[in-house]
Amino acid sequence: MAAPSEDIPVTVPAEDIPVAKPPADPGTPRLAVENLRIVMPASRRRPETDVVDQVSFTVRPGHVLGLVGESGSGKTTVALALLGLVKRGLAISGGKVLIDGQDILALSEHELQKLRGRTVAYVPQDPGSALNPVLKVGTQLREVFAIHGGDPERLTEVMAEAGLEDPGPILASYPHQLSGGQQQRVALAMAFACRPRLIVLDEPTTGLDVTTQRRVLDTVRGLCHTYQVAAVYISHDLAVVAEIADHVAVMYSGRLIELGAASELFSTPAHPYTRGLMRAVPSMESSHELQGMAGSPPRPGNRPAGCAFRPRCEFAIAECELREPQPVVVSDTGHAARCVRAVEVTALSGSVRSVRERIAPPAEGPVLTISGVSVSYTNKPVLRNVNLDVGSRKSVAIVGTSGSGKTTLARCVVGLHKDWTGTITFGGNQLPPGVRGRTREQLRKIQFVAQNPYGSLNPRQTIGQIIGYPLAHFTKLPAREHDKRIADALTSVALRASFAARYPDELSGGERQRVALARALVVDPELLVCDEITSALDVSVQAAIVELLLRLQAERGLALMFITHNLPLVRSIADDVTVISAGQICERGPVTQVLTAPSEAYTRQLIADVPGFERAG
Amino acid sequence: MARKPEAIAVLGRAVRTPRGAVGLAIGGCVVLVAVLGPAVAPYSTTEFVTKPFSRASSIAWLGGDVLGRDVLSRTLNGGWELLAMAAVATALGVIVGALLGVMAAYHGGSWDSIIMRAVDVILAFPQLVFALLLVSILGPKIWLIVLAVAISHAPQVARVSRAAALDISERDFVKAMQILGIPGRRIIRRDVLPNLTSVLMVEIGLRLTYSMLVIAGLSFLGFGLQPPAASWGLMINENRVGLIANPWGVLMPAILIALFTIGVNTFTDAVARASLGVGGRAIEPEAEMALVAREVA
């Protein structure tokens, strides 16, 4: 990271150029948000703090605006405001949300209720929780029509539009009988049922596999275009947004820090934060160094003076500390960023990512051999005759869509699942199926890191206790040595040793996942099984964790079994990849070969469905 | 910088709420009366001070009871045994019930089936009837009443703690311990039970009020402390014939039982509220969004 030189002329903020209003824009915007400000009202303990401030953007009919930001950036708060809602404890204290010129923030609760669903529709992140589990899908959809005075005859039509070609069986099903993709389409059908003028989608494809995600994205785009609905698509996934959005708005710490046409924003990001985010996203085309951003976003009320991103910014100069930067327009299409050096950052953007091919370690004998492993749940096969080797010091990725059986395979290896047939050999010895039959050494040498760092740490124990427990279980060390090993483990995952006294709820998601890694590594394993360990994290955090994992793997000569549905990530992390589909191994080989020249149709489809910046615009 | 144990933290928060403070004050007053009462009572419980059912006077401030004994002295003496029995019965019932429930949840399978079916059988009897049944067969012994009440609590506590422990047992941090080959007993003690603290605290409060009512009820029906001992339940029964002549003989014990129940219940409610949203168990964002989604639809 080169220190920015002070003598580069600072871009003068263009005072009176309004943000987000592309010149020569025909027609009025469907949605216009003007200077939206949402605050935590003052209480006895603290003064009024803004959660979201100075947010302005417009969306034209038929267009999709991608609202991007990491957890805590305020994107969901903004999205809710578009429906006239605020989270408990917050209040809208200023600004306007105009839908076809009508300010919905000025409406009464009763008028808002009529508005929601009819004028503005909402598609939630988890469609399963938004559908009533005890009512058939058909009943619920008809209810929507009844409430908003729609024509029930259009039901099948609406379903077909949402990509459900044969609605009969679906209407007669209960929500839990549908797959995640089908549920999300039902939610889309419900949202589009009454031809809303604006639709707000809150990460609707999180939790869907790439193929389903691709179809849902296509559906949303198609529907928006056909019915001239304006859409706001909220996501933390830049690649997904690149797929669907016409314009992209990036949020950081409650401010809109960059706004522009998708193609432009992704090819020439003008804000250092956007640039950082893009470097953190793994790519299918090449293995590149994933760069996390140091530090974490400031919480409302703790914002530094001047630019909120300054403490983490590689371009920061003295000027940044003085005042909050105003939007600077960097192109004649209205691409703007809240950064005093936006013009320079834009000019830099030719090489956002740095390519780094993985050097495969020398081939040694496999440390783990899985042969002929099959698993059934109540006569339904989950894994069928799976064969797989993990070479020592190698990193093997297991890739598959949800329900493919990849997690079950991991659970068999670590002994959580014990009803499997076949053999798994570890270090030359056959592993007994369940944890009970295994020797202490076997248990120690195979460690596991779970997907969700929010669930994998006991909230009642300190980090020191959490990491110390496996250590005490496998080794009997004097207290001082024990504490030293915990401190070392924390340092090795780039956390301060003082974290040992903290509790999990004081840690961010990325920090928790580091603790989970430290807990696995403290007993010096030979094989680390990672089950989707980054899927619950923001991209910049994911990048940092992946880089950490790669470094630790190289330093300690770990064998890595990395389970994921994220194909681009595989490119950056794995030597070999195994594609698993419906419980069977579909294809395997070195990463470069499988990802660039897949031999199976399934793999090809999987790769084709991966969203990426390359398609932006 | 270790944290206060959760139980203490939650109690502290509960006491600081108006609800908790009021509940604790009411319940605490009754406990004070019961505990300090024997020391300050003007007469012995069996001394004949005045005429039966005589009105309040300067000799007997709350008048005389059915045999002319001092109502005030008997009221002051008649509570501590009741409270002690309720406390022991509650403690026993909650400990046994929680252990059974957690074991059923954690081990699952046949453990779960056997424990929970046994629980269903006991639950089929109404609590008071079950206690009456035991006491009428074996005679009104104090330890038996305590045991009977404890046994009648255990199944309900088992159900509640099983439900809570099922959720905890499925968490990844429990899995992480299982993968290390740590025995189930230790995982239950270190990882599952501490996460049930709030649930069990609420359960203790609820069960305490039930214990009080059941034991007082048994005592009213004559299964409990035997005359001439003073006990609030028994006093209500003895003095009800003179309700009009000297209502205090019935009212005083009844009011104290009612106050204790109300106080403990109010405080428990405060504890339940204080324990929500603690230690990472706050409403998760997804759950909140799901609510929003329903609202919008």
Helical spans, DSSP H, in A167-271: 167-171, 180-193, 210-227, 238-244, 262-267
Q: Does position B281 have pLDDT exceeding 60, yes or no?
A: no
Å from B115 to nearest chain A CA? Answer: 24
The 10s digit of each residue's pLDDT in A197-226 is: 999 998 887 767 777 788 888 888 888 888
A41 to chain B, minimum CA–CA distance in Å?
20
Least confident of A125-134, A394-403, B86-95, B226-235: A125-134
pLDDT of A9 above 60: no
Question: Can you give the C-alpha Rg of chain B in angstroms?
Answer: 23
Closest residue of chain B to A448, computed from CA coordinates:
B176
Hey, what amino acid is at A448? Answer: F
Q: What is the pLDDT of residue A350?
A: 56
| Residues A130, B293: C-beta atoms closer than 8 Å | yes
What secondary structure, in 3-state letters, does chain B show? CCCCCHHHHHHHHHHHCHHHHHHHHHHHHHHHHHHHHHHHCCCCCCCECCCCCCCCCCCCCCCECCCCEEHHHHHHHCCHHHHHHHHHHHHHHHHHHHHHHHHHHHHCHHHHHHHHHHHHHHHCCCHHHHHHHHHHHHCCCHHHHHHHHHHHHHHHHHHHHHHHHHHHHCCHHHHHHHHCCCCHHHHHHHHHHHHHHHHHHHHHHHHHHHHHHHHHHHHHCCCCCCCCCCCHHHHHHHHHHHCCCCCHHHHHHHHHHHHHHHHHHHHHHHHHHHHCCCCCCCCCHHHHHHHHHHHHC
Asked whether the beta carbons of residue B297 and residue A117 sit closer than 8 angstroms, the reply is yes
Nearest-neighbour CA in chain A from B25: distance (Å): 27
Q: Of the given ranges (A148-152, A307-311, B38-42), which has the lowest mean pLDDT?
A: A148-152
Please tell me if residue A362 touches chain B, with a CB cutoff of 8 Å.
no
- Whether the CB-CB separation of A334 and A548 falls below 8 Å is answered with no
Question: pTM of the full predicted structure?
Answer: 0.76
Nearest CA in chain A to B194: A460
Cβ contact, residue pair B172, A122, below 8 Å: no
* Preceding omega of B228 cis (within 30 degrees of 0): yes
Please identify which residue in the block is written with the tokens 């950081």: A252
**Res B138 pLDDT > 50:** yes
Tokens coding A423: 């053999």
Sign for the pseudo-dihedral over CA of B15, B18, B23, B25:
positive
Mutate to test the interface with A, among B8, B174, B289 (most CBs of A within 10 A): B289
Q: How far apart are the first and last CA of chain B?
A: 46
Element (DSSP H or E) covering residue A260:
strand A255-261
pLDDT at B101: 93
pLDDT digits (tens, 9 = 90+) for B143-195: 888 998 898 889 999 999 999 998 888 888 898 888 888 888 889 988 899 88
Helix pair B197-220, B6-16: axis angle to 10 deg: 70
Q: Does A133 touch chain B (CB under 8 A)?
A: no
Reference B82, options B233, B251, B235, B238; nearest CA is B233
Angle among Cα A169, A174, A175 to the nearest 5 degrees reads: 105
Separation between Cα atoms, residue A131 and residue A140, nearest integer Å: 8
Q: Which helix (H) or strand (E) holds A276?
A: helix A272-280
Q: Assign A341 a pLDDT band (cuts: 50, 70, 90).
A: confident
Q: Starting from the edge strand earliest in sequence, which strands make up the sheet with A420-426, in order?
A: A380-391, A366-377, A420-426, A429-430
The tens digit of pLDDT for each residue in A343-369 reads 888 887 555 566 666 666 666 778 899
Six token digits for residue B187: 């995982």
Whether the CB of A474 is below 8 Å from some CB of chain B: the reply is yes
Q: Do A76 and B289 touch (CB under 8 A)?
A: yes
Residues of B with CB under 8 A from a CB of A: 1-3, 6, 171-173, 175-182, 190-191, 194-195, 197, 279-281, 285-290, 292-297
On whether the CB atoms of residues A150 and A192 are closer than 8 A, the answer is no
- Supply B270's token pair: 């405060």
User: A-chain residues within 8 Å CB-CB of B290?
Assistant: 124, 126, 129-130
Polymer length in residues for chain A:
617
Q: What is the dihedral of CA A570, A443, A457, A520, to 10 degrees?
A: -50
Which pLDDT does position A359 carry in this prediction?
Answer: 65
Chain B positions touching A516 (Cβ under 8 A) are 176
If one compares A85 and A5, the residue with the highest pLDDT of the two is A85
User: How many interface pairs between A and B have CB atoms less than 8 angstroms apart?
Assistant: 108
Are the C-beta atoms of residues A539 and A290 closer than 8 Å to each other?
no
Indicate if the pLDDT at residue A614 is higher than 70.
no
Give the integer Cα–Cα distance in Å for A107 and A115: 9
DSSP state of A177: G
Measured in whole angstroms, the distance separating CA A511 from the mean position of its chain's CA atoms is: 16
Q: CB of A383 within 8 A of CB of A409?
A: yes
Among partner residues B171, B286, B297, which is closest to A190 by beta-carbon distance? B297
Q: Which two tokens stand for residue A244?
A: 């669907």
Residue A568 CA to residue A607 CA, distance in Å, equals 9
Question: Which of A422, A428, A431 lies closest to A387 in space, CA to CA?
Answer: A422
B237 within 8 A of B45, measured Cβ to Cβ:
no
Report ipTM (2 d.p.): 0.73
- State whether B180 and A470 contact (CB < 8 Å): yes
Q: What is the pLDDT of residue B2?
A: 59
**A455:B178 CB<8 A:** no
Asked if A206 has any chain B CB less than 8 Å from its own CB, the reply is: no
Q: Which one of 1.10.10.10, 1.20.1250.20, 3.80.30.20, 1.10.3720.10 gives the CATH number of domain B4-296?
A: 1.10.3720.10
Picking from A137, A146, A90, A140, the residue whose alpha carbon sits closest to that of residue A118 is A146
Q: What is the pLDDT of residue B278?
A: 40
Could you give the CA distance from residue B117 to residue B104 in angstroms, rounded to a whole number? 11
Residue found by looking up tokens 């790769």 in the block: A607
Distance CA B99, CA B192 (A): 11
Q: What is the C-alpha radius of gyration for chain A, rounded to an integer number of angstroms?
A: 26
d(CA A179, CA A402): 10
Question: From the centroid of its chain, how far is CA A76?
Answer: 14
Tell me how far apart the terminal alpha carbons of chain A are, to the nearest angstrom: 30
CA dist A180 and B240 (Å) reads 66
Please judge whether A125 and B173 are an interchain contact, meaning their C-beta atoms are less than 8 angstroms apart: no
Q: Which residue among B1, B172, B178 places its CB closest to the CB of A435?
A: B178
Task: Tell me whether residues B180 and A458 touch, CB distance under 8 A.
Answer: no
Nearest to B180 among A124, A461, A473 (CB): A473
Separation between Cα atoms, residue A175 and residue A615, nearest integer Å: 33
Chain-wide mean pLDDT for chain A?
84
- pLDDT of A251 reads 93
Residues of chain A in contact with residue B172, where contact means CB-CB under 8 angstroms, are: 450-452, 455-456
A470 touches chain B (CB under 8 A): yes
Cα angle: A317, vertex A511, A38; to 5 degrees: 60
Q: Where are the alpha helices (DSSP H) in A329-392?
A: 342-348
Find residues 23-52 of chain A whose CB sits inside 8 Å of chain B. Answer: none
Residue A28 pLDDT exceeds 80: no
List beta partners, residue A250.
A68, A258
Distance, CA of A236 to CA of A361 (rounded, Å):
34
Contact B173 A129 (CB under 8 A): no
Q: Could you state, in order of their start, the residue ranges of all structural domains in chain B?
A: 4-296
How far apart are the C-alpha atoms of A459 and A399, rounded to whole Å? 31
Strand A247-252 vs strand A230-235: parallel, antiparallel, or unpaired?
unpaired
* B-chain residues near A83 (CB < 8 A): 292, 296
Residue pLDDT, tens place only, B11-31: 888 888 889 999 999 999 999
CA distance A62 to A27: 12
For residue B102, the distance in angstroms to the closest alpha carbon of chain A comes to: 17
DSSP A412-476: HHHTS---EEEEEEETTEEPPSSGGGS-HHHHHHEEEE-S-TTTSS-TTS-HHHHHHHHHHHH--
Question: Looking at the complex, does the CB of residue A84 fall below 8 Å from at least one CB of chain B?
Answer: no
Mean pLDDT of A70-83: 87
More confident residue, A268 or B139: A268
Task: Compare all CA atoms of chain A with the CA of B5 and give the residue at the minimum distance.
Answer: A460
In chain B, % of residues over pLDDT 90? 26
Residues on chain A touching B296 (C-beta within 8 angstroms): 83, 85, 116-117, 121-122
Q: Is the pLDDT assigned to residue A18 strictly greater than 60?
A: no
Chain A neighbors of B285, CB-CB under 8 A: 76
In a 13 Å sphere around the CA of A38, the CA atoms on its Cβ side amount to 28
Residue of B nearest to A201 (CA): B293
Best CA proximity match to A3, nearest among A354, A294, A338, A316: A316
| pLDDT tens digit sequence for A448-458 | 998 888 888 99
Give the span between the Cα atoms of A253 and A303, in whole angstroms.
8
Select from B5, B1, B169 the least CA-distant residue to A458: B169
